[in-house]
Amino acid sequence: MPIKPVVGICADRTRLDSHFVHGAGEKYIRAVTEGADAFAIVLPALGAEQDIAQTLALVDGLLFTGSYSNLEPHHYQGTPSEAGTLHDPARDATTLPLMRAALEAGVPVLGICRGFQEMNVVFGGTLHQKIHEIQGLSDHRENKHDDLAVQYGPAHLLHLVAGGRLQRMLGETASETVVEVNSLHSQGIDRLGQGLQVEAVAPDGLVEAFSVKNAKTYAFAVQWHPEWKHAENPLATELFRSFGAACRERQLQRN
């Protein structure tokens, strides 16, 4: 049986009863094992306690997931968060330097939701902490009281940049530039990071996807959640398929 490429999935650090745990949602794990056809491992949020070079030596790709927690705003010179905002400083201390090192080393990277915001900050960008309070922008939050099928259902149109990398994922001759996506976030891009290329925007103009210009390999991030029922959505299917292909290419280069 062929050895599959290894994809590291970055964990959140959360509290379960009186204990801290490090975990990643099963939907992300299955998107890696099924959609990318890769071998998934969950990487704990231990910051500098785990050597980045050793982590990169273990993996052929990295997935930076969504999370209920927000990046601490001091990472992008933002104003302090409102009291009660959920943060995960252990994840910040792990993902931000790991993402920088991975991109420099040519390790394939896919960022989703919080991972999308992390990549923007890594490239010097800034975030809106509450999109729904910004004049001219829509409310991109889900209703957490709804069933998951409703929360992750189509929420708004997505305008793909014509001729962009994301649009080309649908096929070299694809004419489709508008698709529907889900929307489950309160934060979003304010200033786009340097070296990032916009790949898709929401109807209100909010950046929803970007790629890294001049990247050594696959380096994409999206604001929505393609991992949710990924096999039922052509764009999500292609996002994970192409991510897996890039991971296999790195695996071959390393062997």
Annotated catalytic sites, by residue? 113, 225, 227
Name residues whose C-beta falls within 8 Å of residue 60's C-beta, 6 or more positions apart in sequence: 5, 6, 7, 38, 107, 108, 247, 248, 250, 251, 254
Helix axes 89-105, 114-122, angle to 10 degrees: 60
SS3 state of residue 6? strand
Tell me how far apart the alpha carbons of residues 157 and 199 are, in angstroms, rounded to a whole number: 14
CA neighbours within 13 Å on the CB side: how many for 233?
19
Name residues whose C-beta falls within 8 Å of residue 9's C-beta, 6 or more positions apart in sequence: 24, 28, 29, 32, 40, 41, 42, 43, 62, 63, 65
254 to 8, 60, 114, 175: CA distances (angstroms): 16, 9, 29, 37
Tokens in use for 6? 């290894």
Residue 31 near residue 247, CB atoms below 8 Å: no
